[in-house]
Amino acid sequence: MASKLLCVVAASFLILLSFSSCQSSATETSPTTPTSPKNLCKTTPDPSYCKSVLPNNTGNVYDYGRFSVRKSISQARKFLNLIDKYLRRRSSLSITAVRALEDCRLLASLNLDFLLSSFQTVNKTSRVLSTLRAEDVQTLLSAILTNQQTCLDGIQGTASSWSVKNGISAPLANDTKLYSVSLALFTKGWVPKQKKVTTWTPKGEQLKGFRNGRMAFRMSSQNRAVYETLNRRNLLQSVAGDAEVLVKDIVTVSQDGSGNFTTINDAVTAAPNNTAASDGYFLIYVTAGLYEEYVSIAKNKRNLMMIGDGINRTIITGNRSVVDGWTTFNSATFAVTAPGFVAVNITFRNTAGAIKHQAVAVRNGADLSTFYSCSFEGYQDTLYTHSLRQFYRECDIYGTVDFIFGNAAVVFQSCNIYPRLALDNQFNAITAQGRTDPNQNTGISIHNCTVRAADDLVASRNGSSNSTSTSTKTYLGRPWKEYSRTVYMQSHLDSSIEAVGWREWNGDFALSTLYYGEFNNTGPGSVTANRVTWPGYHLIGNASDVANFTVFNFLLGDDWLPQTGVPFSSGLL
């Protein structure tokens, strides 16, 4: 019985690895067995390139994996120098080219950090890692590929700077192939063949962290009383007394001058660098107000917590857009890169409007980041879940085209998703997931959420809108990149969802390599009788398969979410 269960679980990793199958361990080649580059490279996405880059001698997976990561580090340094070379002559470049190059520099710097961290791990051992440690490194190597693609997307959008595109695109493409080899070899040598996963047991919601959606320091009607009870280095107790959040320091942002700072950016600047999780959060309490700021939380502002006075009370707003010369990446009103970030009770807006096309409210590239009881408001590209591991709970997300997009490993739980009225000749795609490599551990999981047409879309559907636009068609998602992966499970889908459910990106692009799934959804939009028939679309009937997309399995969330104090459900409901 146990062996059958293991085989079922292994088969379910078709979802997680795209093309895996349940095979007995007897047919697996040990990572320590010497082999040729030709044989080893057969398991990578681009065998020909892999064979050309690895040394032509016999070694095992660990030997080749370490070689590939070392070479990746060398190439990352060269690329960073190349970007700096272009930026030194920024006066001769267009503003759009400079902005794209600045994005690339940030992303290249992160890539070097991620590679150096990964090498520390692979250089220490020639054995399969623990699930948690393997997930950490696979997440970093996955993000490196995402960063490469983001840089390329930005550079290709600089139509007036042919020399920049010509000089950057080729090394970008070659380095991306090399990083893909590093990810593939790491997955083969260091990642456990079987994750320690659990199968579905129907025991109810089982919230972890603060019960009843309440946090002891949630700044509601009692915010002042609660705030005044928080002392330096105190443990903040939940109402139920079964969880705690460690806070290192607290500062207040208030526009009337009564707090420590009048702007959010000043408070972020004052936060200590590289705070360890064990030292507690640096908590920024942002009082009610409209904050017209572009906030960027850099990679060294680790373990920062930001709490507002509530949705539509504490509002951070901006209006940058691609039409106005920004890249999608740097159009964000609020951007976070530092690991361990937590936001609670804040509205994030981009007010550029549908007419300005891509205009991001929040860009999140922060590992182990959490947004709780927040609102994200925009039109096209509202919420950029860019990379790494992310969790959203009881949030509201508004938008039109691709308004939840990116290539993070992300779970949305108990959120409200509001498709809005789009421009004429546009349609709503709720998700545009950007997975580019079958070994990336990324995807969008939408769990126990509600998809409901926003008021303007409802009015247009009822014929009561003042707009001349026809009612906008709404789809669950479309494949932005080749291995796009999105699952809706145990969610309520209203009648705004088109019967086919999903939309093509361009012809048959990615329709056989994507993974789109639906499981036990409800509501008029959940009827699957007329869904798309693409090879990559799945109507999931097995709870053990869809369990791979739960907080417990997809994010290993039980390991890091409790310290945030945010409620979450580990498994299915």
Q: Which residues are catalytic?
A: 402
- Longest CA–CA span in the chain (Å) reads 72
Residue 42 CB contacts under 8 Å (≥ 6 apart), including other chains: none
Length reported for the chain: 573
Name the CA radius of gyration of the chain, rounded: 23
Measured CA to CA, the distance from residue 253 to residue 282 in angstroms comes to 13
Measured CA to CA, the distance from residue 286 to residue 308 in angstroms comes to 5
Q: What does the CA dihedral 408, 409, 415, 419 come to, rounded to 10 degrees?
A: 40
Measured CA to CA, the distance from residue 555 to residue 254 in angstroms comes to 35
Residue 24 burial (10 A CB sphere; 0-12, 13-18, 19+): exposed
Residue 393 CB contacts under 8 Å (≥ 6 apart), including other chains: 370, 371, 372, 373, 413, 414, 415, 566, 567, 568
Pair of tokens at residue 550: 């739960």
Residue 2 burial (10 A CB sphere; 0-12, 13-18, 19+): exposed
**Helices (H), ranges, 437-489:** 455-461
Amino acid identity, position 195: K
95-122 vs 131-156: helix crossing angle, rounded to 10: 160
Q: What 3-state DSSP class applies to 235? A: strand
